[in-house]
Amino acid sequence: MSANNQSQCQSLLVFLSDFVDGTLSEELCQEIKSHAAECEHCRIVVDTLRKTISLYHECADEPAEIPGEVRSQLFKTLNLQDYLEPNEGDR
Amino acid sequence: MSESKSEISIEALRLGDRREFARLVDAYSGPLYRLALKMLGNATDAEDALQNTFLKAFQHVNTFEGRSSLSTWLYRIASNEALMLLRKRRPESTFSDMSTEDENDRNFDPVQFTDWCCLPEEELLSAEARNALDRAVEHLPETLRIVFVLRDIEDLSILETSQVLGLSETAVKTRLLRARLRLREELSSYYSDRLNKRSKE
């Protein structure tokens, strides 16, 4: 962000989430793209923000499972032991 | 949350069908446990939050009106449980600090400008990097953390996140942006160090 275009950097910052999610209007997308083509700092912010989100998405794509002992304890607390069938992963 | 979970019968739950409750627990405990773990940062508290979530769901299933999905309803109970545990843990004096920080836009201006996207995938997602990703989430103020976890980890839409938290969609978007910018800063700091180390190796 250079001193001259710092106000533009700041005014575009609020749109970055929508930009990265692909939910921003075409007009504003173009504005961000042309600004980032000239402003190295903003280009880096956009690229690293996109990468940050994609890294979390990649981790979240892995199945969310609870450890076997947590599951057993949960069923016990909820008084559901009679229905505690083995998980697919435990078979 | 996805696939067969829509097959859970609300009617059977209302009638107290225990087998259906067990199916509900198996269908939703994975994502709800992950939410609690990301919010609370430790397995014991996450387990407590998970148990309380299902206990409350069982107690109040008759009040579930079906205006939101079952998944949104469970996420709402789990989010409240996690936030309640966090508030119990926190000393009173930090309340005002957190809200002030949350409201000041300038705290979210980018200050790290290293381009670390070029790091290889095995470096970006190494065991150490995954710890750094988790730590960065833990460092978020809880009002931002819950929005980020619901939207970017649990993959809820902006609308669903707003329904879970009882916030406007605009408020969700603002908090999501702040959370993401904050995480980018912290990850930039971590990956810059990795870049420096690689250039010296």
Predicted TM-score of the model (pTM): 0.91
Structural domain contains residue A91:
no
The upper half-sphere exposure of residue A22, i.e. CA atoms within 13 Å in the direction of its Cβ, equals 1
Interface test with B, best of A23, A49, A54 (most B CBs within 10 A): A49
DSSP 8-state code for residue B3: G
Q: Which of B47, B113, B129 is nearest residue A41 as measured by Cβ atoms?
A: B113
Q: Which of A20, A55, A78 is nearest residue B125 as measured by Cβ atoms?
A: A55
Q: With H, G, I as helix, E, B as strand and everything else as coil, classify residue A28.
A: helix
Domain count, chain A: 1
Q: pLDDT tens digits, residue range B81-90?
A: 999 999 998 7
Min Cα distance B92 → chain A (Å) is: 31
For B105, nearest residue in chain A (alpha carbons): A14
Chain B CB contacts of A55 under 8 Å are 124-125, 129, 133, 187
Name the residue with tokens 């407590």.
B48
> Among residues B182, B181, B158, which one has the least CA distance to residue B72?
B158
B1-89 belongs to CATH 1.10.10.60? no
Phi, then psi, of B119 in degrees rounded to 5: -60, 145
Domain that holds residue A27: 6-84
CATH label, B93-201, candidates 1.10.565.10, 3.90.1150.10, 3.30.590.20, 1.10.10.10: 1.10.10.10
Q: pLDDT tens digits, residue range B1-41?
A: 544 555 899 999 999 999 999 999 999 999 999 999 999 99
B120 pLDDT higher than 60: yes
How do the domains of chain B map onto residue ranges? 1-89, 93-201
Q: Which of B29, B177, B188 is nearest residue A17 as measured by Cβ atoms?
A: B177
- Measured in whole angstroms, the distance separating CA A74 from the mean position of its chain's CA atoms is 29
DSSP 8-state code for residue A87: P
Phi, then psi, of A71 in degrees rounded to 5: -65, -45
CB contact under 8 Å between A64 and B30, yes or no, is: yes
Q: State the pLDDT at residue B198.
A: 87
